[in-house]
Amino acid sequence: MVGLPTGGNPMTNELRKDQISRIMAFLRHHPRAYVGDEAACQRFLAGVLWIVHTGAQWRELPAQYGQWNSVYKRFSRWCAAGIWTDMLAYFADDPDLEGLIVDSSIVRAHPCAAGASKKTVGRPPKR
């Protein structure tokens, strides 16, 4: 599949084909999830995992995952519909899909959240 990593590393956004097929089966049977084109849905999932694992802003999403705003809107709709919560509950005890379960040991904080100083080179200090 073009643009979709399939290495299966739990510490990245890469999913193996068997993991993708199990997630897609769950989504197809979920009453509030719209899958539509499976390839586009898989790119969306990989994009969300990329955002979650890198801690990047949505605007920094690589183009291979789709337009950042479209990915964000779908992510937001799925949050409001409880799809992510249902997916977490469904796959919580599955060791093959532990890469989907995101906690503070996986998510990288943005540098400013960690107390990094802002760049002020060439600017006068604020008063």
What number is the average pLDDT over the span 98-106?
A: 57
What number is the average pLDDT over the span 7-27?
A: 74
Domain contains 10:
no
Domain contains 12:
no
Q: Where are the alpha helices (DSSP H) in the chain?
A: 17-29, 38-54, 68-81, 83-91
Domain contains 7:
no
Domain contains 121:
no
Domain contains 120:
no
Domain contains 35:
yes
Which three-class secondary structure state does DSSP give residue 70?
A: helix
Which residue bears the tokens 């849905």? 41
Contacts of 56 (CB under 8 A, 6+ apart): 50, 110
pLDDT value at residue 92: 82
Residue 61 contacts residue 68 (beta carbons within 8 Å):
yes
Based on the structure, what is the number of domains in the chain? 1
Mean pLDDT, rounded, of the chain:
78
Domain contains 40:
yes
pLDDT value at residue 9: 45
pTM tops 0.75, yes or no: no
- Print the domain residue range for 25: 17-114
What number is the average pLDDT over the span 1-10?
A: 41
Q: What is the pLDDT of residues 60-77, one digit of tens each?
A: 999 999 999 999 999 999
Cβ neighbours, 10 Å, residue 106: 16
Domain contains 28:
yes
pLDDT(100) > 70: no
Q: Which has more confidence, 26 or 112?
A: 26
Which residue bears the tokens 């990593």? 5
pLDDT value at residue 125: 62
Dist CA 74 CA 25 (whole Å): 18
pLDDT value at residue 14: 72
